[in-house]
């Protein structure tokens, strides 16, 4: 099947030459401006053709693997748009790689605090996923640092929300809503991020009891318990860090680093209220993961299995949900047939449906990725 | 039956206020607008709130949620004859999770009472608006309130994990959750700061922060505003974000000194109040850093306080600012705009010029660390032509802020006050997108209508074509 001529025409008029790249059934485009992206979405909406959005493609499986009539890549929008260094904000195209961004920021003593475990991932992809890096315990989630967003909506308009300011209550908070929306409302073309200065020093120390460290320390950067060991990351001056480490009877060893990305074929993210982390960890241990990384005080456990039975996952999910949390299957490589990636749909489905309908009336933007098949 | 008699049947006489005197009290908030009130009700449970909503909807009467009414943008003031749902009777602290550092609280709880009652557990609620002795958590959620200590910790949105919401449909739903990143769209993100237009918040899950083990407060005097502002920028760039960085200009210092004698120097152009918190060594490190940066920028005076009484004394001047102004003139108009931190000096100079040109008295006390300006005009409304001059000056101040890359509001909200200025910051497609958010929650537009968005904001139909 070929794309209708109206859609091909819209792509050509926008100066885009579609190519086939396997991610979509028909064609893949890489717009270089928000207006181009909106024009393609408007044409696709008129023909009811689904459009899948993709950054580096590392999370195609989240929400269940799918193919689309059209693939839209952010690779054409990978530039730094504005970086007023002293304001500690930066505006970037959604396609910029997070590793490249961080290297550039670090050189000026700044950081985006985004997760950099997979440096080729794009900023747009991370924002669409709503994922946060290890510093969440101290610095809060990524969502709180997305100050402005530009979006090509499912109804084919370019809209901007928020502003390039670190404090702002002017209008509804579109940037925070778009963060974690998984492309359901439209294609993110650029974002303004709030940056933090790099601390004088950050050290990672090995601890025996992560839960105790969480009780004892004042606002550490991260407290991580994993299959490889338990660690605390502390920021400050060298002297301050050594006093803090001593206060919990730990030694600084500058060779240690925080756990790397889990690459097992099945990857499940367990999210519970931080007060229930210990209980959730026991539930995960009972199912013998090959790898796990838990963030104390945050309430997230990521666990990887080379294989795990469907019943085990369903049972884990039921128990995690009764703790007020969710067990999200981020990746299963076909090993968990019939398991919904999200679990029980949220209680606010009717409002979520209306939002989706109002931003994507034809249901063409990453259809089906959100819980409840939205 | 009339709406009022149905409400009385539901809540009893005492909790349905419709006497002309009551209506006058509820007709305005702490800003400059007032509006027509049908009745004000005082529900005590979410179920009662939902019943009130259903009755109002059945009678076609718009609903306006209200906390303590300390809002400055007219958020709690009806635009058309409306039913005020006042949440002050729902002020409980229901559940505290000390390990998870969270608590479920009622929307009517006074901000300061939350932190005071948690002090023995070593926890506090970080957002500390200057109105914290009076404003409610529900109102803080409504406006996404800020305060001096939101510089490092973020405004209210960063401290609200979930909220129970009574929607325009009369449903009781929970947005957000105690668990991070729960699947689905994060509706909590837009409910916080929605100024009562997306529903009524009847319970809030707040994030609590550890009380800092140590703290130091620095009072620094500068001979020029430029030096003070440059100090702010350099402190932040240096890698330490202080807990607070507040600035006051000379007219404000003089007003404060005349009022409370806080011991601020009156021979300087500006004072900076910086607070650093953490463990002992980190406080010592940050104090030394702030001192050295201030010295490099010609500080005329540096005073450091580490014990809590001395720190409270240094804060006293800042905290008395609004009281001091009411001693000076019978009325004041408090502005709230934001500019990029690096443009502070330039915009302040323009603001002084505007004040002078309109012949109004201007004082400044503001959150310098995040570029949040609060120019304050002290005036006497009885003076002929004064109100017009104050408004004209206000309008110009907003425009110069926006021209410098800033925006309409950093913490007080849009409400009625700035609704019609929204097109200065957003184009029609942007406003249409925001109207879609509102319509997803409240298609009938019964929840606090006429707020935040100018009328006609929804300008495209579903296909993206312009509405006729
Ligand atoms: C002297 C003074 C100093 C101030 N200082 C600051 C400051 O430093 N920082 C700051 O941010 N603000 C400040 N303010 C403004 C004001 O105190 C805040 O906006 C505060 O958050 C309002 O709380 P409230 O309980 O009075 O709410 P209200 O004024 O009653 O309502 C505010 C808005 O929230 C909505 N609302 C209230 N309760 C609910 C609910 N339960 N559910 C849904 N919507 C609701 C209302 O409809 C309205 O739109 C100050 C005000 C004064 C008078």
Give the ipTM.
Answer: 0.96
Residues near ligand 1 (Cβ within 6 A): B 29-30, 64-72, 75-76, 87, 107, 129-131, 135-136, 138-140, 142-143, 145-147, 195-196, 200-201, 322, 411-412, 448
Check CB contact of B119 with chain A, cutoff 8 Å: no
Q: Ranked by mean pLDDT, which of A121-125, A199-203, A344-348 comes out on top?
A: A121-125
Residue B50 has which token pair?
């939902």
Q: Is the pLDDT confidence value at B80 over 90?
A: yes
Q: Is the pLDDT confidence value at A205 over 80?
A: yes
Q: Is the pLDDT confidence value at A242 over 80?
A: yes
> Which residues share a beta bridge with A305?
A266
Please list, in sequence order, all residues whose beta carbon lies within 8 angstroms of the beta carbon of residue A60, skipping any fewer than 6 positions away.
Answer: A23, A54
Chain A residue numbers touching B366 (CB-CB < 8 A): none
**B452 vs A172: CB contact, 8 Å cut-off?**
yes
Please list, in sequence order, all residues whose beta carbon lies within 8 angstroms of the beta carbon of residue B225, skipping any fewer than 6 positions away.
Answer: B249, B269, B270, B345, B348
Say if residues A170 and A164 touch (Cβ distance below 8 Å). Answer: no
Check CB contact of B337 with chain A, cutoff 8 Å: no
How does the average pLDDT of chain B come out, rounded? 95
Nearest CA to ligand 1 atom 18: B71
How does the average pLDDT of chain A come out, rounded? 94
Task: Report the pLDDT value the prediction gives residue A141, as an integer from 0 to 100.
Answer: 98
What is the rounded CA–CA span in Å between residue B16 and residue B29?
19
Query: Ligand 1: distance of its center to the CA of A221 in Å?
Result: 32
**Closest-lying ligand 1 atom to the alpha carbon of residue B155:** 11
Q: Is the pLDDT confidence value at B268 over 70?
A: yes
Say if residues B380 and B331 touch (Cβ distance below 8 Å). Answer: yes
Task: Report the pLDDT value the prediction gives residue B262, as an integer from 0 to 100.
Answer: 87
Mean pLDDT of B365-389: 93
Q: Is the pLDDT confidence value at A1 over 60?
A: no
Chain B residue numbers touching A350 (CB-CB < 8 A): 169, 171
Task: Report the pLDDT value the prediction gives residue A20, as an integer from 0 to 100.
Answer: 60
Q: What is the tens place of the pLDDT at every residue in B102-118?
A: 999 999 999 999 999 99
**A275 vs B175: CB contact, 8 Å cut-off?**
no
Query: Ligand 1: distance of its center to the CA of B10 in Å?
Result: 28
Check CB contact of B193 with chain A, cutoff 8 Å: yes
What is the rounded CA–CA span in Å between residue A90 and residue A110?
11
Check CB contact of A135 with chain B, cutoff 8 Å: no
Nearest CA to ligand 1 atom 21: B140
Please list, in sequence order, all residues whose beta carbon lies within 8 angstroms of the beta carbon of residue A269, skipping any fewer than 6 positions away.
Answer: A300, A301, A302, A327, A328, A330, B181
Local structure of residue A296 (DSSP, 8 states): T
**A342 vs B422: CB contact, 8 Å cut-off?**
no
CATH of domain B3-86: 3.30.43.10
Q: How far is B451 from chain A (nearest CA, A)?
A: 10
Check CB contact of A249 with chain B, cutoff 8 Å: no
Task: Report the pLDDT value the prediction gives residue B1, as an integer from 0 to 100.
Answer: 85
Locate CATH 3.30.43.10 in chain B.
3-86
Q: What are phi and psi of B410, to 5 degrees?
A: -100, -20
Task: Report the pLDDT value the prediction gives residue B467, as an integer from 0 to 100.
Answer: 77
Task: Report the pLDDT value the prediction gives residue A2, as an integer from 0 to 100.
Answer: 72
Say if residues B218 and B291 touch (Cβ distance below 8 Å). Answer: yes
Name the percent of chain B lying above pLDDT 90: 89
Q: Is the pLDDT confidence value at A36 over 80?
A: yes
Task: Report the pLDDT value the prediction gives residue A26, as an integer from 0 to 100.
Answer: 75
Name the percent of chain A lying above pLDDT 70: 97
Q: What is the tens place of the pLDDT at every residue in A5-25?
A: 888 887 777 767 776 655 676
Nearest CA to ligand 1 atom 13: B129
Task: Report the pLDDT value the prediction gives residue B464, as an integer from 0 to 100.
Answer: 80
Chain A residue numbers touching B169 (CB-CB < 8 A): 350
Residues 1-40, chain A, touching B (beta carbon < 8 A): none
Residue A368: exposure state from Cβ atoms within 10 A (0-12, 13-18, ≥19): middle
Local structure of residue A305 (DSSP, 8 states): E
Nearest to B437 among A143, A172, A349 (CB): A172
Task: Report the pLDDT value the prediction gives residue A21, as an integer from 0 to 100.
Answer: 58
Of A168, A282, A177, the residue nearest B176 (C-alpha): A177
Q: What are phi and psi of B458, to 5 degrees?
A: -80, 100
What is the rounded CA–CA span in Å between residue B374 and residue B219?
20
Check CB contact of A87 with chain B, cutoff 8 Å: yes
Q: What is the tens place of the pLDDT at every residue in A85-136?
A: 999 999 999 999 999 999 999 999 999 999 999 999 999 999 999 999 999 9
CATH of domain B323-403: 3.30.70.2740
Task: Report the pLDDT value the prediction gives residue A99, as an integer from 0 to 100.
Answer: 98
Task: Determine the residue among A142, A171, A246, A358 to mutate to test chain B binding: the one whose Cβ has the most chain B Cβ atoms within 10 Å.
Answer: A171
- Closest Cα in chain B to A197: B239
> Which DSSP string do the residues of A145-175 spell out, in sequence order?
GEEEEEEEETTS-EEEEE-SSSS--SS--HH
Query: Ligand 1: distance of its center to the CA of B194 in Å?
Result: 12
Considering the four listed CATH numbers 3.40.50.2300, 3.60.21.10, 3.30.465.10, 3.40.190.10, the one that applies to the domain covering B95-210 is 3.30.465.10
Q: What is the tens place of the pLDDT at every residue in B230-259?
A: 999 899 888 789 999 999 999 999 999 999
CA distances from B190 to A166, B167, B396 (A): 17, 14, 29
> Which residues share a beta bridge with B263?
none
Nearest CA to ligand 1 atom 31: B139
What is the rounded CA–CA span in Å between residue B170 and residue A334?
42
Check CB contact of B330 with chain A, cutoff 8 Å: no
Of B192, B254, B220, the residue nearest A173 (C-alpha): B192
Q: What is the tens place of the pLDDT at every residue in A170-186?
A: 999 999 999 999 999 99
For tokens 């948690």, what's the residue? B118
E-only strand ranges, chain A: 24-29, 51-54, 68-73, 80-82, 89-93, 110-111, 146-153, 158-162, 186-194, 196-197, 201-207, 222-226, 229-236, 266-271, 291-295, 300-305, 326-331
Say if residues B125 and B149 touch (Cβ distance below 8 Å). Answer: no
Please list, in sequence order, all residues whose beta carbon lies within 8 angstroms of the beta carbon of residue A69, skipping any fewer than 6 positions away.
Answer: A3, A24, A25, A26, A27, A44, A49, A50, A51
Locate CATH 3.30.70.2740 in chain B.
323-403
Mean pLDDT of B385-401: 93
Local structure of residue A340 (DSSP, 8 states): -
Mean pLDDT of B344-365: 93
Mean pLDDT of A273-300: 97
Please list, in sequence order, all residues whose beta carbon lies within 8 angstroms of the beta carbon of residue B4, skipping any fewer than 6 positions away.
Answer: B16, B18, B38, B39
Instruction: Please give, one letter per residue, the 3-state secondary structure of chain B.
Output: CCHHHHHHHHHCHHHEECCHHHHHHHCECCCCCECCEEEEECCCCHHHHHHHHHHHHHCCCCEEEECCCCCCCCCCCCCCCEEEEECCCCCCEEEEECCCCEEEECCCCEHHHHHHHHHHHCEECCCCCCCCCCCEHHHHHHHCCCCCCHHHHCCHHHHEEEEEEECCCCCEEEEECCCCCCCCCCCHHHHCCCCCCCCEEEEEEEECEECCCEEEEEEEEECCHHHHHHHHHHHHHCCCCCCEEEEEEHHHHHHHHHHHCCCCCCCCCEEEEEEEEECHHHHHHHHHHHHHHHHHCCCCEEEEECCHHHHHHHHHHHHCHHHHHHHHCCEEEECCEECCHHHHHHHHHHHHHHHHHHCCEEEEEEEHHHCEECEEEEECCCCCCHHHHHHHHHHHHHHHHHHCCCECCCCCCCCCCCHHHHHHCCCHHHHHHHHHHHHHHCCCCCECCCCCCCCCCCCECCCCCECC
Locate CATH 3.30.465.10 in chain B.
95-210
Mean pLDDT of B157-178: 98
**A157 vs B432: CB contact, 8 Å cut-off?**
yes
Instruction: Specify the CATH class of B214-320 in words.
Output: alpha beta
CA dihedral A130, A133, A135, A136 (to 10 degrees): 20
Q: What is the tens place of the pLDDT at every residue in B288-320?
A: 999 999 999 999 999 999 999 999 989 988 988
Task: Report the pLDDT value the prediction gives residue A203, as an integer from 0 to 100.
Answer: 95
For tokens 């393609």, what's the residue? A40
A326: confidence class by pLDDT, cuts 50, 70, 90: very high
What is the rounded CA–CA span in Å between residue B349 and residue B397?
11
Mean pLDDT of A208-221: 95
């Amino acid at each position: 099947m070929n794309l209708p001529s109206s859609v091909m025409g819209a792509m050509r008029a926008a100066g885009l030459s579609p190519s086939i790249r396997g991610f979509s059934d028909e064609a893949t485009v890489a717009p270089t401006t928000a207006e181009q992206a909106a024009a393609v979405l408007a044409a696709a909406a008129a023909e009811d053709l689904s459009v899948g959005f993709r950054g580096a493609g590392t999370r195609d499986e989240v929400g269940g693997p799918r193919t689309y009539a059209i693939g839209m890549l952010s690779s054409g929008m990978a530039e730094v748009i504005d970086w007023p260094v002293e304001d500690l904000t930066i505006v970037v195209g959604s396609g910029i790689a997070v590793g490249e961004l961080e290297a550039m920021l670090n050189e000026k003593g700044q950081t985006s605090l985004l997760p950099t475990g997979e440096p080729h991932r794009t900023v747009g992809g991370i924002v669409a996923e709503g994922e946060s890096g290890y510093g969440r315990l101290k610095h809060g989630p990524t969502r709180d640092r997305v100050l402005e967003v530009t979006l090509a909506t499912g109804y084919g308009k370019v809209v901007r929300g928020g502003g390039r300011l670190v404090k702002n209550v002017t209008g509804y908070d579109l940037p925070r809503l778009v963060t974690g929306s998984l492309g359901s409302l439209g294609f993110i073309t650029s974002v303004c991020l709030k940056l933090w200065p790099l601390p004088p020093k950050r050290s990672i120390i090995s601890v025996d009891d992560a839960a105790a460290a969480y009780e004892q320390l004042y606002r550490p950067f991260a407290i991580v318990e994993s299959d490889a060991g338990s660690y605390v990351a502390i920021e400050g001056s060298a002297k301050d860090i050594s006093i803090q480490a001593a206060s919990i009877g730990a030694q600084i060893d500058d060779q240690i680093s925080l756990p790397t990305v889990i690459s097992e074929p099945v990857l499940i993210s367990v999210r519970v209220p931080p007060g229930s982390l210990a209980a959730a960890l026991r539930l995960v241990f009972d199912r013998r993961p090959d790898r796990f990384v838990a963030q104390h005080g945050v309430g997230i456990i990521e666990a990887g299995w080379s294989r795990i039975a469907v019943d085990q996952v369903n049972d884990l999910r039921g128990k995690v949900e009764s703790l007020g949390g969710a067990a999200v299957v981020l990746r299963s490589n076909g090993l968990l047939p019939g398991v919904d990636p999200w679990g029980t749909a949220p209680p606010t489905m009717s409002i979520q449906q209306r939002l989706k309908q109002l931003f994507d009336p034809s249901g063409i933007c990453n259809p089906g990725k959100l819980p409840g098949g939205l | 039956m009339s709406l009022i008699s149905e409400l009385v049947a539901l809540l009893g006489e005492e909790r349905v206020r419709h006497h002309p005197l009551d209506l006058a009290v509820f007709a305005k908030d702490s800003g400059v607008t007032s509006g027509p009130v049908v009745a004000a009700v005082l529900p005590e449970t979410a179920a009662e709130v939902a019943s009130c909503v259903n009755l109002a909807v059945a009678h076609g009467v718009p609903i306006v949620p209200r906390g303590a009414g300390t809002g400055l943008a007219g958020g709690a003031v009806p635009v058309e004859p409306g039913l005020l749902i006042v949440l002050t009777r729902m002020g409980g602290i229901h559940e505290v999770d000390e390990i998870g550092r969270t608590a479920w609280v009622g929307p009517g709880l006074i901000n300061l009472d939350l932190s005071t009652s948690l002090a023995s557990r070593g926890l506090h609620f970080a957002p500390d608006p200057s109105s914290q002795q009076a404003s409610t958590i529900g109102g803080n959620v409504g406006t996404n309130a800020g305060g001096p200590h939101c510089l490092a910790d973020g405004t209210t949105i960063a401290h609200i994990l979930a909220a129970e919401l009574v929607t325009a449909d009369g449903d009781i739903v929970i947005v957000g959750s105690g668990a991070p990143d729960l699947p689905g769209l994060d509706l909590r993100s837009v409910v916080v700061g929605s100024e009562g237009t997306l529903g009524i918040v009847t319970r809030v899950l707040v994030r609590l922060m550890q009380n800092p083990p140590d703290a130091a407060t620095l009072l620094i005097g500068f001979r020029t505003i430029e030096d003070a502002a440059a100090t702010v920028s350099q402190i932040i760039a240096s890698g330490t974000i202080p807990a607070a960085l507040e600035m006051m200009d000379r007219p404000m210092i003089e007003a404060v000194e005349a009022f409370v004698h806080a011991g601020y120097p009156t021979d300087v152009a500006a004072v900076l109040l910086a607070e650093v918190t953490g463990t002992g060594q980190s406080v010592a490190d940050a104090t030394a850093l702030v001192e050295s940066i201030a010295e490099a920028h010609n500080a005329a005076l540096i005073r450091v306080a580490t014990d809590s009484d001395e720190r409270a004394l240094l804060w006293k001047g800042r905290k008395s600012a609004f009281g001091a102004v009411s001693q000076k003139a019978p009325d004041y108009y408090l502005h709230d705009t934001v500019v990029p931190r690096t443009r502070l000096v330039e915009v302040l100079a323009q603001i002084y010029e505007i004040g002078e040109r309109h012949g109004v008295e201007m004082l400044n006390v503001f959150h310098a660390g995040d570029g949040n300006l609060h120019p304050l005009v002290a005036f006497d409304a009885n003076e002929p032509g004064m109100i017009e001059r104050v408004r004209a000056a206000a309008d110009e101040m907003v425009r110069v802020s926006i021209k410098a890359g800033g925006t309409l509001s950093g913490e007080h909200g849009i409400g009625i006050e700035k609704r019609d200025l929204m097109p200065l910051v957003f184009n029609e497609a942007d406003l249409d997108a925001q109207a879609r958010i509102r319509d997803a929650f409240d298609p009938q537009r019964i929840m606090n209508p006429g707020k935040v968005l100018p009328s006609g904001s929804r300008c495209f139909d579903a296909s993206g074509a312009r509405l006729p």
